[in-house]
Structure 1
Amino acid sequence: MSKQQVLLQIIETLKVDLDVATRAAQTAYETATHEENIAENKYDTLGLEASYLAAGQARRVEEIRQSLVRYQAFTLEPHDDQRGIQPGDLITLESASGQRQQLFLGPDAAGLKLHHCDALVTVITAKAPLGQSLLGKLDGDAVEINVNGARQSFEIVQIL
């Protein structure tokens, strides 16, 4: 598994998401401004609801656009064992039950999931509790976080 390939896949996914969101925003805008959706009385709220949707879609487009810009400008560094986990690292965690998960510590787009080399990779950021817990950790270290009020422990089994 290559973190450079994961980064390129994140960029491609964000490009696709941006295209889809842009088309959805345009459709919502056209619906909100269509002459048939002009309110005929104070109870006719279709146009108002469509304008709220259009505003939300426009915000989503801007969020994705900003994420894409951050990833396109992001420079990957080789993992440094002296510094521990840093943004740009691809991390494999293992739970006490032996279940593994792949994480990419990125600058943005937290929660984005993608399939790479037959594994599900989840993007996290250093702003999230798990991301904060991972910063500076080394291969073999344990990380504990609260998930829905339950304390969970993971071992770092690989850092790329």
Structure 2
Amino acid sequence: MIVDMNKSQLKEEIVSMLQQQHNITLDAVNQAVASATDKETIPEHKYDTLALEAAYLAHGQAMRVTESEERIRQFLALDLPQNPDQVTLGCLVALRDENASLHWFFVSPVSGGLKVNWQGLSIILVTFQSPLGKALRGKELGDDVEYLVGNETKYYQVETIF
């Protein structure tokens, strides 16, 4: 079983993953800028829009870099609650489904859906903006969690809160 003090190690692992995503985004923006400024993209006639399209792509990629930096900043600012009695930001939560299987979630301010393999567990980041996050907010040990995904209702019980 995971001990509470290891949540800081989980946070470091998530930050590392966010930084890897950021580096990939930086590479994409550099490639897009190179393409937009390449002599091969110089318009040959007034209907040649390759350079313009490459510039739009570079701008979009630059916006993704800014968003990625903001996600990292928000995650680094996240306080990890010690011995929480209810689900709040920064909690690691184990939910038991109807088949008695455990599912692990980390309540994050950003990057909902990101999957982290840590200490032999598959942990999914969930935000309070998601259906599951809304259903989890404020829950305590033993509480039932019910939420809708499409037309399907999911049922869990809160097994553990770190």
The alignment's TM-score, normalised by the length of structure 1, stands at 0.91
Matched residue SS, 2:154: strand
* Residues 51-66 of structure 1: pairs in structure 2 closer than 5 A: 51-66=55-70
CA displacement 1:85-142 (0-9 Å, x = unmatched):
1000001112112332211001112121111011111111111121111111011111
1: CA distance, partners of 2:71 / 2:138? 24
2: CA distance, partners of 1:51 / 1:126? 35
Number of residue pairs matched by the alignment: 158
CA RMSD of aligned residues (A): 1.5
Q: Where does residue 108 of structure 2 map in the other structure?
A: 106
Deviation, structure 1 residue 43:
4.1
Q: Where does residue 16 of structure 1 map in the other structure?
A: 20
Unmatched 5+ stretches in structure 2: none
Deviation, structure 1 residue 21:
0.9
One-letter identity of the residue aligned with 2:60: G
* 4+ residue runs over 6 A deviation: none
* Residues 47-86 of structure 1: pairs in structure 2 closer than 5 A: 47-81=51-85, 84-86=86-88
Matched residue SS, 2:84: coil
> Is structure 2 residue 125 aligned with structure 1 residue 123?
yes
Deviation, structure 1 residue 73:
1.8
> Is structure 2 residue 20 aligned with structure 1 residue 31?
no
CA contact (8 A) 1:79 1:89 kept: no
Matched residue SS, 1:22: helix
1: CA distance, partners of 2:43 / 2:104? 50
CA displacement 1:43-74 (0-9 Å, x = unmatched):
43322332232122112111110011112222
Deviation, structure 1 residue 30:
1.1
CA contact (8 A) 2:26 2:65 kept: yes
The alignment's TM-score, normalised by the length of structure 2, stands at 0.90
2: CA distance, partners of 1:50 / 1:101? 43
Percent of pairs with identical residues: 33
Distance of aligned partners of 1:126 and 1:79 in 2 relative to their CA distance in 1, 3 Å threshold: farther
Deviation, structure 1 residue 42:
4.5
One-letter identity of the residue aligned with 1:139: L
